[in-house]
Chains A and B, each alone.
Chain A
Amino acid sequence: MEKEQLAQILAELVPGLEINSSKEILEVKAASNTWHELAGKLASDPRLQFNYLHNLYGVDWQTYFTVIAYLDSTILGYSLIVRTEVADHDNPSLDTISDIWITANFQEREIYDLLGISFSNHPDLRRLFLEDGWGFPLRKDYKDDINFIER
């Protein structure tokens, strides 16, 4: 079974990783300080070769943020979901993975723009859609008195 095989490799690679294989796609949870390290291993390990990051997005859970990466290995055909929690809600920060997958560059910029998670070591962390000084609209506590009509 592909999923179990993958889970086994991951368990060998990073001991003590939280692996959830109950879903359609295997999910692993990384601590936010091992995020970059894990990403590097996933991309470079010859048994995994996760070369295609097809999605990266964040969620605001009011007290903390979650950043979720969807990975594909186009060579070996594996799929994987990697998630991490950014605990500091006031000053969220995470290591960038844009040096591993180029496409993360822009997806991180989008997350920074809309959720306000800043990515350390990011080469070009600017607002993508909105102006500087705009709030972070995808946060749950975002308020916009002018453009927002509360029901």
Chain B
Amino acid sequence: MPFNIYDFSTTTKAVDEFLKANMSPTWAFITELTIVGLVFLIFYAIVGLYLVYAERKVCAFMQNRVGPNRVGKWGLFQTIADLIKLLMKELITIKKADKLLYNVAPFIVIIASFMAIAAIPFAKGLHAVDFNIGVFYMMAVSSIGVVGILIAGWSSNSKYSLIGAMRSGAQVVSYELSVGLALVSVVIFSGSMQLSTIVESQANGWWIFKGHLPAIVAFFMFLIASTAEINRGPFDLAEAESELTAGFHTEYSGIKFAFFFLSEFMNMFIVASLAATVFLGGWMPLHIGNLEAFNRIMDFIPPIFWYFGKTIFVIYLIMWFKWTFPRLRIDQLLNLEWKYLLPINLVNTLLIAFLVLMGWYFK
């Protein structure tokens, strides 16, 4: 089986051909789907768990602590131990809760984040579905999560949960705009909504460098707005533990709580990978002008490492925010969106459209 770490399309094509040669097209399709599904499930679990671990380590180092270091070397298996603990915990259902919605909510949240992974281009050819409206798809799918949060808050029949859910609703609805506009700026630059095309368009330089100041502004807008959209960092009002104990998931326990927890971290991963893909060139290596030798060395690093490196960098930024800033109040949060982020974003988008129209950017 041909395997090339620089281009996964040969591998995937080989698998496809192998399956088609051995069984009927329908079965081959089903088998492919199963393989992709299983791979993503495992990927999801590993990334989710290790993001939790990473968060705990990052915050520990920022806080002069060592962080988890008991289970395995450097505590590497701590989150797995936690998961096992959560799996064994009792699933408490509130007596007066709306049973159906209460049980469905964690699944909606986790499915929403699971669906978003499908469109992420991990490396050249490593892509589950390459939608021609990839950016749009990501936006649409990631907004489903808030429905789950609202349902969770409502069905728990707890006042804390309800406040948390309502906050989350208001927050996500307003910050969706800024996320969208920030992404639109790159769509304007690259002229496509297909994620693979956007990545290809950054072969000679990432948009954050090619697009002058407006692209940098758009990147930070995206970072801020998406941090708010995934209820993290200084914008974690939905679960504000010092005000609402745990917000919308106050009444959840065991694995259902773990679903919320895991999906929160996966959302962070998705947002970070989206930022890496559209602004930081996805799996494209860093190229600097005409430094041939430098560019050659950069090309030598496999694209998948580039992709993960950038994603981890963005994730680190998001964690850095969370562990430094105090939390905003709900009205300040909405102020920030409607009075600062949205107007700046609109002007920025106009500016980018103008730049593209005049061709004033590095091509």
Direct contact of A and B (CB under 8 A): no
